[in-house]
């Protein structure tokens, strides 16, 4: 298929949308993903903003206000004035009557954006949507109903996970994820920013692959100047984003923020039990729901420690923007609008190391490809041990089906990293401890993933796997 030139990346998602458009059947398409990820842009650009009906939910207003907006949009597209619907059942009936009047159209497209915001308390919205689809729309050949929602938990639980009449009614579900490094580079070029890949990496470590955040970068400024403007200037755009990010996604925003901020204080991550103890909350299903919702919204990731297949999942903060905000912005009370440009201390180095590790984990497929093991089944985990004698941690372990294990050391630096005797001895000691503690009989490979590459030298041959920054852009 020919991809839309205005859309960077999203090729798989475009293919799904094209399949739906080409289908003679009625299609119910749900596009979901965290706030600012580009859902609305994708749908509007793919359809060329040519919809037979389009409306959007409004954040935190009454049902009456939502219905008023619906009435106004229906008038805009139909040219016929209608009485304001008294409820959602009547609103969808009016939409049905309008679509039926388009009898000469083989394909009718309806786009309802921010669907969760229409579902105000006791509004009956879900049941009205259910009746609209099941009693009429599902049998209307050529009808394409596209809905979007930033409230990922609502989309997954109430729409995709509905146990009533909407159960399994969505014909296509598209979960939009953050850009990869390669897509980020392509997007920045599309807005006139042509930075070296090392600077694209730094931008990704701060903003993540969130298109809206990246769109705020100005080509005439350096990255440091952009960060100063976005986070530290008067009325900085991304300073106020943090609080609204949670209130717009979750009902109990305060609890979700507490979980994220607690995880931000423990870079290794925490188990569910450790979180409950730290937060001093009840050990019930609520915490499991909160963690699941944060994972679905790409705020956190969960992983198993090496050798533990079922229990003991560790939860770790994975959202780049949130990590940066909590580390450098949330508790900053200075008045220096150039704070980031001037900052050069140990906190920045610690953050950069951890942020780069998260970038690597976000690009595990690229690492597998660089190691030549894309066609080999493998599990990704982390390993750590702590006892009275010895302690060690390996943040990325690739356990391969070809009887090998890559023990990955991820190193952020702005120059080629020189392997010295002490460092190689430390890696070897850690490898022997891993072998001793796990009892594995597989071959253990020392692997480096570095932003600056490895400098050829006396000890560089000690590394069996070498992944460089360019590999992460594949």
pLDDT band for position 311 (cuts 50, 70, 90): low
- The pLDDT value recorded for residue 390 is 65
SS3 at position 472: helix
Residue pointed to by tokens 């609520």: 286
What are the residues whose beta carbons fall under 8 Å from the beta carbon of 456, sequence distance 6 or more? Answer: none
Instruction: Give the length of the chain.
Output: 474
Question: What confidence tens digit (pLDDT) does each residue in 286-301 have?
Answer: 898 899 989 988 899 9
| Beta carbons of 440 and 433 less than 8 angstroms apart | no
Report the C-alpha gap between 187 and 473 in whole angstroms.
13
pLDDT band for position 343 (cuts 50, 70, 90): confident
| Beta carbons of 364 and 446 less than 8 angstroms apart | no
62-91 average pLDDT score? 96
- The pLDDT value recorded for residue 309 is 64
pLDDT band for position 2 (cuts 50, 70, 90): low
- Secondary structure (DSSP) of 351-409: HHHHHHHHHHHHTHHHHHHHTT-TTS-EEEEEEEEE-SS-EEEEEEEEEETTSEEEEEE
Cα–Cα separations (whole angstroms), residue 357 to 91, 129, 155, 344: 49, 43, 30, 20
Buried b (16+ CB within 10 A) or exposed e, 337-364: eebbeebeeeeeeebbebbbbbbbbbbe
Report the C-alpha gap between 362 and 373 in whole angstroms.
17
| Beta carbons of 209 and 180 less than 8 angstroms apart | yes
Neighbours of 324 (CB within 10 A): 21
Q: To the nearest 5 percent, what fractions of the chain are helix, strand and coil? A: 45, 15, 40
pLDDT at 306 over 60: yes
Report the C-alpha gap between 92 and 77 in whole angstroms.
15
pLDDT at 357 over 60: yes
pLDDT band for position 305 (cuts 50, 70, 90): confident
What are the residues whose beta carbons fall under 8 Å from the beta carbon of 24, sequence distance 6 or more? Answer: 141, 142
Q: Comparing C-alpha atoms, which of 40, 37, 46, 54 is closest to residue 14?
A: 46
Report the C-alpha gap between 140 and 173 in whole angstroms.
20
Report the C-alpha gap between 450 and 413 in whole angstroms.
7
Question: What confidence tens digit (pLDDT) does each residue in 12-35 have?
Answer: 999 999 999 999 999 999 999 988
SS3 at position 83: coil
Domains of the chain and any CATH numbers: 11-175 (3.40.50.300), 180-362 (1.10.10), 365-468 (3.40.1350.10)
- Secondary structure (DSSP) of 88-106: HHHHHHHHHHHHHT-TT-S
SS3 at position 399: strand
Question: What confidence tens digit (pLDDT) does each residue in 395-421 have?
Answer: 899 999 999 999 999 999 988 999 999
Question: What confidence tens digit (pLDDT) does each residue in 168-213 have?
Answer: 999 999 999 999 999 999 999 999 999 999 999 999 999 999 999 9
| Beta carbons of 229 and 236 less than 8 angstroms apart | yes
Report the C-alpha gap between 392 and 305 in whole angstroms.
13
Report the C-alpha gap between 310 and 164 in whole angstroms.
31
Please give the mean pLDDT across all residues of the chain: 92
């Amino acid at each position: 298929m020919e991809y839309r030139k205005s859309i960077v990346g999203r090729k798989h998602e475009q293919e799904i949308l094209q399949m739906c458009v080409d289908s003679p059947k009625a299609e119910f398409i749900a596009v979901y993903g965290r706030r600012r990820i580009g859902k609305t842009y994708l749908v509007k650009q793919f359809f060329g903003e040519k919809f037979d009906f389009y409306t959007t939910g409004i954040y935190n207003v009454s049902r009456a206000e939502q219905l008023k907006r619906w009435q106004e949009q229906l008038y805009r597209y139909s040219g016929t004035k209608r009485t304001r619907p008294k409820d959602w059942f009547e609103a969808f009936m009016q939409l049905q009557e309008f679509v039926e009047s388009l009898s000469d159209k083989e394909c009718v497209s309806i786009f309802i954006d921010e669907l969760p915001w229409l579902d105000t308390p006791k509004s009956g919205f879900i049941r009205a949507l259910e009746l609209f689809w099941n009693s009429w729309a599902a049998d209307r050949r050529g009808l394409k109903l596209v809905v979007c929602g930033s409230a990922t938990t609502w989309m997954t639980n109430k729409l995709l996970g509905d146990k009533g009449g909407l159960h399994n009614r969505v014909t296509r579900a598209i979960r939009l994820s953050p850009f990869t490094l390669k897509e980020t580079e392509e997007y920045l070029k599309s807005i006139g920013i042509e930075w070296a890949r090392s600077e694209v990496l730094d931008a990704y470590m701060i903003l993540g692959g969130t298109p809206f955040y990246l769109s705020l970068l100005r080509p005439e400024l350096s990255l440091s100047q952009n960060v100063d403007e976005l986070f530290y200037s008067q009325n900085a755009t991304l300073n106020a984003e943090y609080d609204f990010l949670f209130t717009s996604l979750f009902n109990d925003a305060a609890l979700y923020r507490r979980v994220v901020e607690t995880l931000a204080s423990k870079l290794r991550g925490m188990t569910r039990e450790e979180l409950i103890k730290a937060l001093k909350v009840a050990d019930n299903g609520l915490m499991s729901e909160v963690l699941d919702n944060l994972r679905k919204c790409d705020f956190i990731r969960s992983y198993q420690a090496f050798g533990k297949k079922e229990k003991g999942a560790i939860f770790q903060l994975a959202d780049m923007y949130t990590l940066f905000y909590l580390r450098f912005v949330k508790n900053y009370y200075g008045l220096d609008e150039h704070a980031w440009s001037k900052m050069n201390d140990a906190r920045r180095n610690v953050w950069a190391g951890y942020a780069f590790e998260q970038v690597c984990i976000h690009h595990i497929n690229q690492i597998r490809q660089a190691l030549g093991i894309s066609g080999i089944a493998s599990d990704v985990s982390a390993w750590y041990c702590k006892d009275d004698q010895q302690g060690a941690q390996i943040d990325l372990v690739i356990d391969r089906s070809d009887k090998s294990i890559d023990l990955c050391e991820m190193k952020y630096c702005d120059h080629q990293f020189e392997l010295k005797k002490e460092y190689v001895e430390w890696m070897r000691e850690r490898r022997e401890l891993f072998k001793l503690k796990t009892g594995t009989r597989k071959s253990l490979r020392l692997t480096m993933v570095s932003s600056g590459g490895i400098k050829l030298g006396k000890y560089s041959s000690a590394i069996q796997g070498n992944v460089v920054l360019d590999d992460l852009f594949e």
